[in-house]
């Protein structure tokens, strides 16, 4: 029995093209791409003029190299986020799409790191609340 793999461009593990095998780490790759979409609110493949920047992974790597979190995060958030949490999520997304599947985290590791990101966000919001609302 053979299976024909179909998928949306940009989400498929690049190792599949050489091995014709999908693994758990292939799912991690696809999740990493989805995580980049959530963080940036950008499509996986865009129609911008620069072909080097039309794939979200290439674009995000360039933005990370420039160390400009404002260009990475969905602008609708209007900087209402904890930057260390976002950097952690961005690094996680990039780890998920590592070209070498053995360098990608497991989904259990992904869950742990995302929970850490959430805790950082919640701690920041708690610290920003007025003192009297934290006492009561």
- Residues paired with 55 in a beta bridge: 45
Q: What is the pTM of this model?
A: 0.85
pLDDT in tens, 25-69: 999 999 999 999 999 999 999 877 777 678 899 999 999 999 989
Evaluate whether 104 touches 28 at the Cβ level (below 8 Å): yes
Tokens representing 116 are 């850490």
Per the model's pLDDT, the better-predicted residue between 8 and 10 turns out to be: 10
Per the model's pLDDT, the better-predicted residue between 5 and 104 turns out to be: 104
**What gap in Å lies between CA 103 and CA 37, rounded to an integer?**
21
Would you state the pLDDT for residue 1? 47
Q: What is the DSSP string of 51-76?
A: GGGSBHHHHHHHHHHTT-HHHHS-GG
Would you state the pLDDT for residue 132? 55
pLDDT in tens, 58-105: 999 999 999 989 999 999 998 889 999 999 999 999 999 999 999 999
pLDDT in tens, 113-135: 999 999 999 998 787 766 555 55
Domains and CATH numbers, the chain: 24-129 (1.10.510.10)
Radius of gyration of the chain (CA): 17
**What gap in Å lies between CA 101 and CA 76, rounded to an integer?**
33
């Amino acid at each position: 029995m053979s299976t024909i793999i179909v998928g949306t461009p940009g989400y498929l593990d690049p190792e599949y093209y050489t091995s014709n095998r999908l693994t758990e780490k292939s799912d991690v790759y696809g999740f990493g791409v989805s995580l980049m979409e959530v963080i940036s609110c950008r499509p996986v493949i865009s129609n911008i003029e620069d072909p080097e920047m039309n794939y979200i992974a290439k674009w995000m790597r360039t933005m990370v190299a420039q160390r400009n979190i404002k260009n990475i995060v969905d602008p609708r958030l209007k900087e209402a986020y904890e930057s260390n949490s976002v950097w952690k999520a961005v690094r996680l997304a990039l780890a998920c799409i590592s070209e070498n599947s053995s360098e990608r985290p497991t989904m259990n590791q992904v869950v742990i790191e995302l929970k850490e990101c959430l805790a950082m966000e919640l701690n920041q919001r708690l610290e920003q609340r007025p003192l009297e609302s934290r006492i009561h």
